[in-house]
Amino acid sequence: MKKVNMKLFNRSIILIFSIILIFSNSNGQYSKDSIQIRRIFDMALENGTAYKNLKSLCKDVGHRFSGTKQADSAVNWGYNLLKSMWTDTVYKLPVMVPNWKRGNIERAYIFHDDTKLNISSLGGSVGTKKRIKAKLVVANGIEDLERLGEKNIRGKIVLFNKAFDPKTINVFETYGACVGQRYSGASKAAEYGAVGVLVRSMTLQNDNHPHTGSMSYTNKNHMIPAAAISTEHAELLVEKLREKPNLNLVMKMNCKLLPDVLSYNVIAEIKGETEPESVITIGGHLDSWDLGEGAHDDGAGIVHCIEVLNLIKANGYRPKHTIRVVLFMNEENGGKGGQEYANWVKTRGEKQIMALESDAGGHTPRGFSISAPDSIFDKIASFKPLLEPYGCHLFKKSTWGGGVDINPLKLDSTLSINPNMILMGFIPDSHRYFDYHHAETDVFENVNKRELELGAGAIGSIVYLIDKYF
Amino acid sequence: MKKVNMKLFNRSIILIFSIILIFSNSNGQYSKDSIQIRRIFDMALENGTAYKNLKSLCKDVGHRFSGTKQADSAVNWGYNLLKSMWTDTVYKLPVMVPNWKRGNIERAYIFHDDTKLNISSLGGSVGTKKRIKAKLVVANGIEDLERLGEKNIRGKIVLFNKAFDPKTINVFETYGACVGQRYSGASKAAEYGAVGVLVRSMTLQNDNHPHTGSMSYTNKNHMIPAAAISTEHAELLVEKLREKPNLNLVMKMNCKLLPDVLSYNVIAEIKGETEPESVITIGGHLDSWDLGEGAHDDGAGIVHCIEVLNLIKANGYRPKHTIRVVLFMNEENGGKGGQEYANWVKTRGEKQIMALESDAGGHTPRGFSISAPDSIFDKIASFKPLLEPYGCHLFKKSTWGGGVDINPLKLDSTLSINPNMILMGFIPDSHRYFDYHHAETDVFENVNKRELELGAGAIGSIVYLIDKYF
């Protein structure tokens, strides 16, 4: 009993001191910060440019898949916009990117009744040469292939039909649990003798849009074609198969992978006042899928990060560290931009204080996922009361990093010269993100102005705090 | 120094004990609750009926303004739906409601160039008899009338053009700061000799839909017509007036108020197991404006509360107290249903444990506003960790009550026989609510299934906790 009390007592002492620390902070220094953060949000909500910039990216450039002319236009768009701002430096960092072409044929239908299916070739897939005509087998995710076995799969088209679990509160988590069938399903099914795969679209919606995405082959000698199918048509196939177990499907696609081509990350900096050699990186990805306009994915992230420069300036705040915005190329089907940036940072021997990525859409901000040593995390968590009035005060410990484009900066330990480096991912509301994700519905009209602006305010605020206190 | 330390020490002791209490609770009793709440959300998200019910209300009934046939249909819709569920009692509580008719003429245009303006007569307004042709004066809210003075107002139409402040984070707060010009603008302007008023729509959007709403006259002998005008056309008028300060406006409306008619609140109950005479009321309002389909306002609240009955049953939980769902009539233009319900409760001498209202739309749930004595509030606040995994753990102290329909239960102290009664308002994300509010865009298609279901889960969870711990 006494021992327990002592433990509690010790804990309590630590707690008391933490509280005293927070209170003394919040009454003193932090009160100035709350004024500064209020100004950041005011600016974002009253005179923000994020929405206007997003409109321009979506409507003047449109979708911008790696290796396309539109991707080149997007590079110029980003370069010119950042040049027109108060940046100290703007430059383009060359990066070789995959050059996958969708082609002009992507068709699938049920042979006996000609029912057309809404599909979209997965990025990286091979074409079908002529056409594939084969029977269908349904697998509830990759983990279901073993149960089905080669006897049920050989010579057939596999429909991967593992559905998002609506019970998972954060939709990104159920995406994580399902996306394996899209990324690796073709290779795994090929091991059992499949001749093609269709993958249920990665969305909670019952809709008739295919939601595309990337895939990859583990065995380059055995590559079978793969396409996303709309959730409605995945369900339709399951139903038709119940009525007619031997139905044949036809798939025809002429997508192909050409040699890598040159593209660019666009980089802009505001030099730090007192520690210009230390860098805070913030970014999103400039490339998008070729369906829709890449509005939430990741036009929102691009304009969020560009807006941060405005928000900081408008407040007359001069950052201590160099603030660097990176518009990454090729997140969607290769991640080459992020890897190249990390290599470049390493070559320069730069100290990175933090890298923050916004690649989860333009919905209402909730907070940030943070990958950092415990003591650093705790310091960031003490900022919570400052963001609470804006509802974006969720600080979630992450072991995963902060995003595909920034993770190479730290997760390869040879790259980072700062063991205390923070990786941060912006967390907006996840509920509607996959309604639009990688589909033709990811357009400007489906982004809410106010939600987008609040996101910029949230990111601007955390960048300000990290710059000031680290 | 010593004194300060002692104070801190005492505070710390209280803090330590609070923490021990919370931990012992959460390790023991609350862990069962977390399982129960998980089940409530699972049910709402996987097998929920809220979305299906909302579709039926919006598409089979449509809009349902007090005093219309559609309102009668809505009463029957609610009655039949609740009858088909596991309720112990369903009945209709008669209530006399205002019977304002929009008429078939509502027109406004600029005289010299025939520019048509998008307007919607405000509920309760008188018509124009023939037509009004008058000059225009712009007032930045009611508070601006005094500055303008009678010399600038007499004989003119006043455009109340006070805009929502985008900097206010909770949009309901800026609505609160602007809505006076809609509700009382006509009466106030009439005091200065105005002949009619147009009121800027209550929305942050720059759109071309008039967002209607209710208004009232303080002086029945001096009633001038009032209409909402779209934000785009309000801005257009300001611009045109700058070019041509003497422009004439024409208004023509034939709306009118007829004698009150009979309608109903629809009430359904599950009898409590151990304290059936004590009641937990949950409700939303069944009536809506006659533009759009009343999907967010307040179809969402209606189906939220109906769903709570399913969520509780599916868990095999038998409530201690009687759980009563009330579908209130006439919240929008009179609040007669709420007043009648409070009178009825008083007549029966019922003890109300809590009344909860959902009338803030069907967006992602954030938490609850709570009007209760401090000790009760603190007890409710201790539930916070249970709702945190669902992101709806904001517990906000309110002095205002919980909603127009439930406030009469407590705020008139002669009505309540329980001084500890809790008034609770459901708080969803506010950012998009006024995009649709009282406009033709408030339709089923603008409600997101998942967000709606999460709201039902949040309300189901808090009802479960209140029932169990009070």
Here the tokens at position A335 are: 């991640």
* Total beta-carbon pairs less than 8 A apart between chain A and chain B: 72
A184 Cα distance to chain centroid: 19
* Nearest CA distance, B16 vs chain A (angstrom): 6
Do A249 and A268 have their domain in common? no
DSSP, collapsed to helix, strand or coil, labels residue A381 as: helix
Length of chain A: 470
Strands B248-253 and B132-139: antiparallel
Length of chain B: 470
Q: In this structure, is residue B21 part of a structural domain?
A: no
Q: In this structure, is residue B2 part of a structural domain?
A: no
Q: Cα A93–A99–A103 angle (5° rounding)?
A: 145
Nearest chain A residue to B12 by CA: give it.
A16
Which of B113, B85, B42, B93 is closest to B315 using CA atoms? B42
Global pTM value: 0.93
Nearest chain A residue to B387 by CA: give it.
A169
d(CA A364, CA B430): 10
pLDDT for B417 equals 66
Q: What is the mean pLDDT of residues B427-454?
A: 98
**Which CATH number fits the domain that encloses residue B446?**
3.40.630.10
Which of B252, B256, B257, B281 is closest to B269 using CA atoms? B281
For residue B423, report the phi and psi dihedrals to the nearest 5 degrees: -105, 130
Q: What is the mean pLDDT of residues A373-379?
A: 96
Pair A211, A441: CB distance under 8 Å:
no
Chain B interface disruption, residue of A6, A45, A172, A450, most B CBs within 10 A: A450
Q: In this structure, is residue B390 part of a structural domain?
A: yes
Name the residue range of residue B136's domain. 103-254
Do B95 and B107 have their domain in common? no
pLDDT for A316 equals 86
Element (H, E) at B370: strand B365-371
Nearest chain B residue to A4 by CA: give it.
B20
DSSP, collapsed to helix, strand or coil, labels residue B319 as: coil
pLDDT for B6 equals 44
Q: In this structure, is residue B4 part of a structural domain?
A: no
Pair A75, A57: CB distance under 8 Å:
no
Look at residue A165 and tell me whether its pLDDT is greater than 90.
yes
Asked if the Cβ–Cβ distance from B12 to A8 is below 8 Å, we say: no
In this prediction, the answer to ipTM > 0.90 reads yes
Pair A253, A227: CB distance under 8 Å:
yes
DSSP, collapsed to helix, strand or coil, labels residue A26 as: helix
Could you tell me if residue A261 is left (phi over 0), alpha (psi between -120 and 50 degrees) or otherwise beta?
beta
Instruction: Give the confidence band of A26 by pLDDT, cuts at 50, 70, 90.
Output: very low
Do A169 and A196 have their domain in common? yes
Task: Using the structure block, give the residue that is written with the tokens 């006070």.
Answer: B162
Q: In this structure, is residue B89 part of a structural domain?
A: yes
Do B335 and B458 have their domain in common? yes
Q: In this structure, is residue B400 part of a structural domain?
A: yes
DSSP B164: P
Residue that terminates a domain, selected from B254, B272, B289: B254
**Which CATH number fits the domain that encloses residue B120?**
3.50.30.30
Instruction: Give the confidence band of A414 by pLDDT, cuts at 50, 70, 90.
Output: low
* Nearest CA distance, B201 vs chain A (angstrom): 17
d(CA B439, CA B297): 10
d(CA B435, CA A243): 46
% of chain A exceeding 90 in pLDDT: 89
Look at residue B320 and tell me whether its pLDDT is greater than 60.
yes
Look at residue A217 and tell me whether its pLDDT is greater than 70.
yes
Task: Using the structure block, give the residue that is written with the tokens 């408030």.
Answer: B442
Q: What is the mean pLDDT of residues A162-189?
A: 98
* Nearest CA distance, B169 vs chain A (angstrom): 6
Do A214 and A181 have their domain in common? yes
Q: Cα B403–B407–B411 angle (5° rounding)?
A: 145
* Nearest CA distance, B48 vs chain A (angstrom): 11
What's the start-to-end Cα distance of chain B, in Å? Answer: 43
> Does the bond joining B442 to the residue before it have cis omega, within 30 degrees of 0?
no
Q: What pLDDT digit, counting tens, does each position of A230-255 carry?
A: 999 999 999 999 999 999 999 999 99
Q: What pLDDT digit, counting tens, does each position of A41-89 carry?
A: 999 999 999 999 999 999 999 999 999 999 999 999 999 999 999 899 9
pLDDT for B159 equals 98
Look at residue B29 and tell me whether its pLDDT is greater than 80.
no
Do B250 and B263 have their domain in common? no
Chain A interface disruption, residue of B173, B207, B432, most A CBs within 10 A: B432
Here the tokens at position B187 are: 């009466």
Report chain B residues touching chain A, CB-CB < 8 A: 8, 12, 15-16, 19-20, 41-42, 45-46, 166-167, 169, 171, 204, 364, 366, 389-391, 394, 429, 431-432, 435, 448, 450-451, 453-454
Asked if the Cβ–Cβ distance from A8 to B15 is below 8 Å, we say: no
Q: Which residues contact B66 (CB under 8 A, 6 or more apart)?
A: B97, B98, B99, B100, B263, B287, B329, B330, B332, B333, B334, B336
Strand partners of residue B100: B257
Q: Where are the beta strands (DSSP E) in B15-156?
A: 89-101, 106-110, 119-121, 132-139
Selecting from A8, A390, A429 the residue whose C-beta is nearest the C-beta of B169 gives A390
DSSP, collapsed to helix, strand or coil, labels residue A268 as: strand
Look at residue B60 and tell me whether its pLDDT is greater than 50.
yes
Q: How many CA atoms lie within 13 A of A97 on its CB side?
A: 32
d(CA A387, CA A37): 8
Q: In this structure, is residue A1 part of a structural domain?
A: no
Chain B interface disruption, residue of A14, A16, A46, most B CBs within 10 A: A16
pLDDT for A418 equals 80
B40 Cα distance to chain centroid: 24
Do B243 and B269 have their domain in common? no
Q: What is the mean pLDDT of residues B240-258?
A: 97
Asked if the Cβ–Cβ distance from A167 to B41 is below 8 Å, we say: yes
* Nearest CA distance, A450 vs chain B (angstrom): 7
pLDDT for B30 equals 81
Look at residue B74 and tell me whether its pLDDT is greater than 50.
yes
Nearest chain A residue to B203 by CA: give it.
A450
Total tally of structural domains belonging to chain A: 2
Here the tokens at position B351 are: 């003890």
Instruction: Give the confidence band of B414 by pLDDT, cuts at 50, 70, 90.
Output: low
B12 interaction partners in chain A (CB closer than 8 Å): 12, 15-16, 19
* Nearest CA distance, A63 vs chain B (angstrom): 25
* Nearest CA distance, A102 vs chain B (angstrom): 32
Do A409 and A291 have their domain in common? yes
d(CA B402, CA B409): 10
Q: What is the mean pLDDT of residues A195-212?
A: 97
Pair B467, B315: CB distance under 8 Å:
no
Q: In this structure, is residue B91 part of a structural domain?
A: yes
d(CA B16, CA B10): 10
Asked if the Cβ–Cβ distance from B448 to A435 is below 8 Å, we say: yes
Asked if the Cβ–Cβ distance from A435 to B429 is below 8 Å, we say: no
d(CA A116, CA A332): 28
**CA distances from residue A195 to A109, A253, B435 in whole angstroms, order as listed:** 16, 13, 49
Do A290 and A421 have their domain in common? yes
Residue that terminates a domain, selected from B231, B254, B277: B254
Do B374 and B425 have their domain in common? yes
Residue that terminates a domain, selected from A254, A279, A313: A254
Mean pLDDT over all residues of chain B? 93
Here the tokens at position B333 are: 């233009």
Do B295 and B335 have their domain in common? yes
- Give the neighbor-by-neighbor strand order of the sheet with A321-328: A89-101, A256-270, A321-328, A275-285, A351-357, A422-428, A365-371, A394-397
Asked if the Cβ–Cβ distance from B391 to A169 is below 8 Å, we say: yes
Do B246 and B266 have their domain in common? no
Instruction: Give the confidence band of A412 by pLDDT, cuts at 50, 70, 90.
Output: low
Alpha helices of A141-199 — where are they, by DSSP H?
145-153, 171-178, 180-183, 185-191
